A and B are shown apart, each in its own frame.
Chain A
């Protein structure tokens, strides 16, 4: 087992800068998720670590080895591909055994490893089948088993669950989490699905436009986004951002004044607040501000309200039995300690230093 370290990776596709000087460290036995919208460079970064793409500059280390110039086969990695890439002309057994055969493993070890990996993925009764005789979920299991069988130093996963239907994805997600918690294999996992990232990761590296914008534990990333992009990308519905005037070291929402952690550079400041961190009341309350209900959406477990404060819209979630009608005015009380303050010009958090 080993950690991964990448330093100042720059990757160009023609004139487009896919990666803009990315540095990242994954500790030994850690599960790190690269999260970002499509085109942010997360898959490119993973492929550079795998050796399937070459960076214009920068270095890649696995353990203490500088693998920048090594071909993929010498990097002691395993990978799970988005479309599985399970070889159609080989049986499940031979697919799982592929990496071991390439290492010229002894027959006893090979058989034992294949059976162990197949049992972990619950496909031990499918070993003689061909991929064409398997369902999508079963092929996915073969792809993961193939990766586990070689006992890699580092496991790379490129959106491994995105081709599964929603129910199966939920099931596989929990299973992957159990599996990788047991094996403690250093894992780098790419996804655009923030729920997947939150659920699986020890740490999440949020990427945007070829950079890592925040690298932290899931709850930190959720509660303390480094900038408006992270706040808006993670969470469904996303974080609300209200532009408020600054008076001294305080921000004002109508009669409510809120302390700022540091004085912002401009006349305005952005308040970032999650929809569940605004407490809605039917009557005026202390420490609250009024907003008009525009839309009420019942979502089963809760109601999602869209409200207008002056010209700005915000989303709030309330319990399902909350009596709200559109056109009504509600009083919203922000939960102290759950508020983020950001610079409206740069979008950066006032308290969080930018990563990378």
Chain B
């Protein structure tokens, strides 16, 4: 009996060691890196980061991308999940097709969309064939930041909506069907059933999806780099350039800490705003 008590701990130990070694330790290292200079503690890395030419744009575009992409993905995934709920035959087929992008790495996804938007890409060929443009247009240059931004939004929505969809489909299946039936019997139209019953009961799943997607959106990197290089600066990209091109781990670490800070803030905000009402009352 006594020895069995240790078995659960023994079983989780490998993963705990793995996480401590590959996540917690680097995290602490990055934190230290960002606030330690040649002569002890310092804020110089943060000051240098903030003074950099790209910094403001990187913050702007990272936040803007998250603010545009995440709601789009959630709304789209919610519509898709509700549509799936209305299909009885062939439902799994739709689900599998819709989740195909999940199996593609973000860099590969970025390159696929580059093939569409590049000068000799599919979009230009298509528009030329239709006679809408005479010669190839540049979509992804520093002169067309709006178009570049839209291309990244399109690629991100295509690539990562499926993960939200999977979470919401699972969440919808957890809602007992009696709630909807009760609402139906007591006079609710499909539209009101969605707003009054399905959506509130889906809140826990929505919360998970939002937190997950927001954190990942704040770390957006490969798709942006593939499509725009540094023409559309983002925080994770800056961390990469400072570490690789400028050989300055201190500023790179400062960027990482900033991303971490925004992520934690966003998560806390979601947790607070989307708290189940029963707990508020209790």
A residues with CB within 8 A of B: 50-52, 71-73, 77-79, 81, 83, 85, 87-89, 91, 98-99, 102-103, 128-133, 146, 150, 156
Question: Which residues of the partner chain B approach A89 to less than 8 Å between Cβ atoms?
Answer: 200-201, 203, 276-278
Given contacts A85-B176, A87-B179, A89-B200, whether A50 and B185 have CB atoms under 8 Å apart is yes
Question: Which residues of the partner chain A approach B203 to less than 8 Å between Cβ atoms?
Answer: 89
Within the assembled complex, what's the spacing in Å between the Cα atoms of A72 and B196?
A: 17
Within the assembled complex, what's the spacing in Å between the Cα atoms of A22 and B66?
A: 58
Question: Which residues of the partner chain A approach B185 to less than 8 Å between Cβ atoms?
Answer: 50-52, 72-73, 77-79, 156
Q: A83-B176, A133-B278 are in contact. List 10 more A-B contacts (CB 8 A).
A: A73-B184, A73-B185, A73-B189, A78-B185, A79-B182, A85-B179, A98-B182, A102-B183, A102-B192, A130-B281
Q: Are B186 and A150 in contact (CB under 8 A)?
A: yes
The residues in B between 93 and 130 inclusive whose CB is less than 8 angstroms from any CB of A are none
The residues in B between 58 and 77 inclusive whose CB is less than 8 angstroms from any CB of A are none
Within the assembled complex, what's the spacing in Å between the Cα atoms of A91 and B203?
A: 17
Within the assembled complex, what's the spacing in Å between the Cα atoms of A156 and B179?
A: 16
CB distance from B86 to the nearest CB of A (A): 15
The residues in B between 245 and 282 inclusive whose CB is less than 8 angstroms from any CB of A are 276-278, 281-282
Q: Are A102 and B187 in contact (CB under 8 A)?
A: yes
Say yes or no: is B181 at the interface (Cβ < 8 Å to chain A).
Answer: yes
Q: Are A88 and B192 in contact (CB under 8 A)?
A: no
Looking across the interface, which residue of chain B has its beta carbon closest to that of A94?
B196
Looking across the interface, which residue of chain A has its beta carbon closest to that of B180?
A85
Mark interface residues in B147-180 (1 if CB within 8 Å of A CB, else 0). 0000000000000000000000000000010110
Within the assembled complex, what's the spacing in Å between the Cα atoms of A78 and B201?
A: 22
Say yes or no: is B225 at the interface (Cβ < 8 Å to chain A).
Answer: no
CB distance from A289 to the nearest CB of B (A): 53
CB distance from A66 to the nearest CB of B (A): 19
Within the assembled complex, what's the spacing in Å between the Cα atoms of A133 and B278?
A: 8
Given contacts A87-B197, A89-B276, whether A78 and B186 have CB atoms under 8 Å apart is yes
Say yes or no: is B188 at the interface (Cβ < 8 Å to chain A).
Answer: yes
